Chain A
Amino acid sequence: MSDGTKIIFGAVLGALYVGTAILQFIWAIFGPLADLEVLLISGDVFSGFVLLVIGAVLLTGARKFSTDTGEGMSFIYVGIFLSVLFGLVALCSLGAGALEATFFAEEGEEVWSVMDVATPLLYLAVIGVSGFLAWGREFLRRFSLA
């Protein structure tokens, strides 16, 4: 896995995160746009903000690669870590929602569906996980763990 792969990975994933973040904001301001539902955009500004932050970290990492490899690498690693972390948060949210709906749904309430709570944080994290699995150990090996 060369450095080049990492830069591209970071840049692409970063762009995806920023892209979905922008879409979230657009939805929040202008109201629902039919096609976007497919991407699980929901107009939640807060998760939009988080998407933006993750994207920014990744893109900064890709950018810094040209000046300082070590630093660029750190940003990308942190970006990947955040991606996985928030993916887990989204997953837990999902799980909890499912739990509540299964056990405590009242009669006549709308059937809860996964679509209600799934968010880009979740599926983009899948990409993040691949990066984590590929490079996690290398980061720790490269710098002493202390």
Chain B
Amino acid sequence: MTKTIRVALTGNPNVGKTTLFNALTGSRQHVGNWPGVTVEKKTGRVSHNGYDIEIVDLPGTYSLTAYSVDEIVARDFILKEKPDVVVQVVDATNLERNLYLTTQLAELGVPIVIALNMADAAEARGDTIDREKLSALLEIPVVRTVGTRGDGIGALLDAAIRVVKSSSHHERTVDYGSEVEAMITSLTDALAIDRSLSVQYPRRWLAVKLLEGDESVLTLVGEGPASARVQNLLSSIDAGEYEASMADKRYETIAAILLQVRSAGASEGASASDMLDRVITDRYLGIPIFLALMWGAFELTFAVGAPFATAIEVGTAWLAEFATSSIGPAWLGSLIGDGVISGVGAVLVFLPNIFILFLILALLEDSGYLARAAFIMDRPLHALGLPGKAFIPMLIGFGCNVPAIMASRSIEGERDRLISILVNPFMSCSARLPVYILFAGTFFGTRAGGVMFFLYVLGIVVAIVSAKLFRSTILKGESSPFIMEMPPYRIPTAMTSLLHMWSRGSLYLRKAGTIILLGALLVWVLASFPYGVEYGSEASLVGSIGHLVEPLVAPIGFDWKIAVALIFGFLAKEVVIGSLGVLYGTGEETLSATILADPGFSPAIALSLMVFVLLYTPCVAVVGVIKKETQSWKWTGFSVVYGLIVAWILAFVIGRLAPFFLGGA
């Protein structure tokens, strides 16, 4: 009979925990959310030696205080769900800091196994670590692993199973010195009165946390019978001093252990990473280097993506043709050909671009450069009112806003995170491109490139101004401090980066597969009914809807066809073009000519339309993500309305001003 074991995977950020998790669980993973918070929860399974092992990936944390959601989630899981064993992934090249978490884990009273990861980097550096000695001193098994190569996975699982089976584990925890230890004893005695608490949590851990001023433990104790005595004891000491001395003692213990266990090979001086940083974060060249790399990224995205995009375009056009002409009943042929294939095809065309962009971002992130870029851009962004860490989500937003807003999770302050989420839709995603390409190309000829550049910049400017606006009105407050670890530069492994690219790109694919498919079908349905009506004409349902909404956008100069296209654009901005095609009764190639001929259109109106599409309400998928990340209908509704208002005003203003700037064009 197979037995089941539950393993909790923890560790500092940047230790290769994700890679190790992937190596352990392969494709048997499931990603979800911890209930009530926007922290990602990953679980996976693996079978080993007759055991069915469930692995829960806890958020990466430096310690287990109660000050951040990540830490609370991690420690609550260990304390309340009581996994059979906790595996801590430790970075062998950064032992001092990593073992700090170990000291905290040890006090939780659960069996622990240490995965000494990145052992290859430590060895390359010339470090020798006596694993057995370390294991003996900590009373915790230590297994050598190299996540990127899959080394040590079997041994790690063996150790975990062994620890669970033996049901005895480390006893040792940090000795805080006689004075503090005496206080701990007094506290544990006092806590004995609170029966229910003593059963749920290790008393020593509770005592240590009380002395550190842990808010949630204080609350827990405060609600119970031990409260008075504990308060008494705590008021007799200087909290700040105790806290500092305890942290010191932890590091002292760690240092003493490392002295016996490790001989460092690296020289004390600057490493290659440090020297590279001198250049990369140079006060004059840092930003230019970054801008140059961004140019390179976008150049690659568009240039290299082009042949593939064209291939897909040609392919789907042919397929749509084939479907319409060869499938039996005309309406079915039209549904599949004009509706489904063309609609989804419009989205798939961008797949190469998006995946290339995400791959480049993954490479930049995995090599360690992106952390430096965030550091360099922190001050300029801060000066503009944006949180420094919003920088990566903003970059991703140029590809697709859905993964971009999800990436905002890494921003700590609630206010900053909210601002980042609210302004992200103004980063012009790739879905809006077909609109720009069509209208800029049709109405502005050689100046099309310049117009598109203007639109992108406009989006950024609106984001900045909005952020400043939010900051001074509805989201007042201090911005969070910027602290970011700079991992050493590494050469990214192909596998890791590809997986990274996939996790973001697949979100876009899913959007295409579901929402846009539905959108395309919806457009088709509304354009084909009432039955017998000419496809997409004024008499059809779309026409009726269009005329209904027309008065609202008439001041800008939009007619009912544009109104309809914009409404469908809410589903997915790519659908704007598709619906225009339906409404004008043409395919995409001739759409350009048809629109040019339409007297209702002019360069000014085209410009207004592009501005409107740039700025108005984010598409359904994005709205859905905003709701999920903010967990509030208020902010979701706000972003919908705000976008609409900003779009309307700017489209109106630019539409009026445009003739003066465009001259005779």
Contact = CB atoms under 8 A, between A and B. Distances in A.
A56 B300 contact: no
Contacts of A93: 299-300, 303-304
Nearest to A95: B304
Label chain B's interface by main secondary structure: helix
Interface stretch (A4-12, A22-30, A35-43, A47-55): A47-55
Contacts of A85: 296
A100 B307 contact: yes
Nearest to A74: B275
B288 interface: yes
Nearest to A139: B272
Contacts of A103: 307, 310-311
A54 B275 CA distance: 17
Nearest to A86: B296
A143 B295 contact: no
A95 B98 CA distance: 46
Which bucket holds chain B's interface residue count?
35 or more
Contacts of A104: 307, 310-311, 314
B264 to A, nearest CB: 10
A146 B275 CA distance: 11
A52 B291 CA distance: 12
Interface of A: 46-47, 49-50, 52-54, 56-57, 60, 70-71, 73-75, 78, 82, 85-86, 89, 92-93, 95-97, 99-100, 103-104, 139-140, 143-146
Contacts, number: 101
B275 A56 contact: no
Given A70-B275, A145-B271, A97 B93 contact: no
A96 B304 contact: yes
A144 B271 contact: yes
B289 interface: yes
30 contacts: A46-B299, A47-B295, A49-B288, A49-B292, A50-B295, A52-B288, A53-B289, A57-B285, A57-B289, A60-B282, A73-B275, A74-B275, A74-B278, A78-B279, A86-B296, A93-B300, A93-B304, A96-B304, A100-B310, A103-B307, A103-B310, A104-B307, A104-B310, A104-B311, A140-B272, A143-B272, A143-B275, A145-B125, A146-B271, A146-B273
A89 B296 contact: yes
B353 to A, nearest CB: 12
Interface in B593-622: none
A47 to B, nearest CB: 8
B126 interface: yes
A46 B272 contact: no
Given A78-B280, A144-B125, 11 more contacts: A46-B299, A49-B295, A53-B291, A57-B285, A57-B289, A74-B279, A78-B289, A85-B296, A89-B300, A144-B267, A146-B273
Given A50-B292, A53-B285, A146 B272 contact: yes
B266 interface: yes
Contact of A54 (B292, B310, B488): B292
A56 B272 contact: no
